[in-house]
Structure 1
Amino acid sequence: MFWEQQDAGVRLEWGEAGLEHLAAQADVVVVVDVLSFATCVEVAVSRGAAVLPFGWRDARATAFAAEHGALLAGERAAGRPSLSPTSLLGLPAGARLVLPSPNGATLCARAGEAGGVVVAACLRNAAAVGAWIGGRFQNVLVVPAGERWPDGTLRPALEDLLGAGAVVEALAPALRPSPEAQGARAMFQAMRERLPEVLGGCASGLELSERGFAEDVALAAELDVSGCVPVLREGVFVNAVS
């Protein structure tokens, strides 16, 4: 089909529909959710914790956490582990955390159900993810998660496009990107020197700052500061390079 981005080693498509239509041809799916699911996963897993993605923050999440002997991440303002990357900086090694997210976690869980290799990527670990994938896989699907409009439809998010472009940049020496992936890479290259400014001024960054989480945006804008590669294994994100 015309939308399959055939003959490219690195393909890129947005959200659940992109995952549904393109994942079958991929050896590995890289889910990018910069603000904030994938950044939370990187922060937690790099500290030796395990993260269980879950799509809903309701009674189902409570039951799921209890079933797996895990701590349930709460609301951002609750002063405990949550979908706030800075709230996870003190997470101890060996902790198990259920991290609900309607975008990134849902994509990771669905990609995992399909049986393929799933990696969580953000700006902080883009180069590490690219280095780990290179030489192991020949067909990579990069999925920027995006956000949601009030009616539930996908809102493409600049921060996820930049994170996806950073991953493509790291993969491009070894694998040929599709035009869609090249576009994300070009956007990243154009803005890589201004990531804190750009993330702070984009819609998602402004929302978090207005809610009092500007530190989360600053942390998420740090480029290639982590060697962590979170890989989903039996429904749990662990560090593939530990």
Structure 2
Amino acid sequence: MTYNQQEFDIRLEWGIRGVEELAPISDVIIIVDILSFSTCVDIATQNGAIIYPYRWKDETAIEYAKTLDAELAGFTRKYSDGYSLSPTSLLNIKPETRLVLPSPNGSTLTLSTKSTPTLCGSLRNAQAVATLAKSYGKKIALITAGEQWPDHTLRVAFEDLIGAGAIISYLTGNLSPESKTGLAIFERVKSNLLVEIENCNSGKELIARGFKNDVLLACDFNVSTNVPVLIANAYVGRRC
């Protein structure tokens, strides 16, 4: 009870423990994983694809995809290997494509929300996600995914806090201090989103690995009116 921000309408927390605290007392959960799960899911579902989140990048993912008669995204982020956690790889995904998307962050959080209505939010669809979220009720929780250190502990990710703040800027209600922090950071950097995210740790890492275009796609603010909604363990797009 101490940690669930229950006295506030708009809540924000990090990682799997955040889901565990906030999901049971919220009308809707918004998963925010800017680089790159949320960006991938928005682009793919906007094109009409169906995305099945999956936590593990191993043999179980292969078997899971077979049970769904679905394609499996590559375990590494490469443009040449078909679909992957690279948003660029999904730009031309065909409608009705069923794709299993392994991700240790965004997928893990998505599959932990259980029966709570779940949306996937990014900078690309911030306003649309906020609009749809309000239709579920007043109690809205944003879960920022963060990244992982080499020992698999949570690394707070600057870009996810910005993404959450962007969505919060379109919400109404009583904000928790955590939500106010996300909003304040977004307001501070919104005029220069691309430069700020290019220079944060996650952005610098992707650019150094040759994936600058993925960062550019993630920073396309409010270009999408699509909202990925989790239905039967799959994200499908809904126009808003």
The TM-score with structure 2 as length reference comes to 0.96
Which residue number corresponds to residue 170 of structure 2?
Answer: 170
Which residue number corresponds to residue 46 of structure 2?
Answer: 46
Structure 2 Cα separation of the partners of residues 177 and 151 of structure 1: 33
Q: Which runs of 4+ in 1 moved over 6 A?
A: none
- Worse-superposed segment, 39-48 or 69-78: 69-78
For residue 196 of structure 2, give the secondary structure of its aligned residue in structure 1: helix
Number of corresponding residues: 238
- 2:81 is aligned, of 79, 82, 86, to 79
Written as runs of structure 1 = structure 2, the 5 A alignment for 1:80-119 is 80-111=82-113, 114-119=114-119
For residue 124 of structure 1, give the secondary structure of its aligned residue in structure 2: coil
Residue 221, structure 1, aligned to residue 222, structure 2: no
What is the CA RMSD across the aligned residues, in angstroms? 1.1
The TM-score with structure 1 as length reference comes to 0.96
Task: Tell me how far 1:240 sits from its aligned partner.
Answer: 2.6
For residue 231 of structure 1, give the secondary structure of its aligned residue in structure 2: strand
Q: Percent identity?
A: 43
Unaligned residue ranges in structure 1 (runs of 5+): none
Which residue number corresponds to residue 2 of structure 1?
Answer: 2
Task: Tell me how far 1:76 sits from its aligned partner.
Answer: 1.3
Structure 2 Cα separation of the partners of residues 73 and 84 of structure 1: 10
- 1:211 is aligned, of 209, 214, 218, to 209
Which residue number corresponds to residue 189 of structure 2?
Answer: 191
For residue 99 of structure 1, give the secondary structure of its aligned residue in structure 2: strand
Which residue number corresponds to residue 133 of structure 1?
Answer: 133
Unaligned residue ranges in structure 2 (runs of 5+): none
Which letter does structure 1 place at the counterpart of 2:20? E
Query: CA 1:22–1:136 in 2, change beyond 3 Å: closer, same or farther?
Result: closer
Which letter does structure 2 place at the counterpart of 1:57? K
Which letter does structure 1 place at the counterpart of 2:202? S
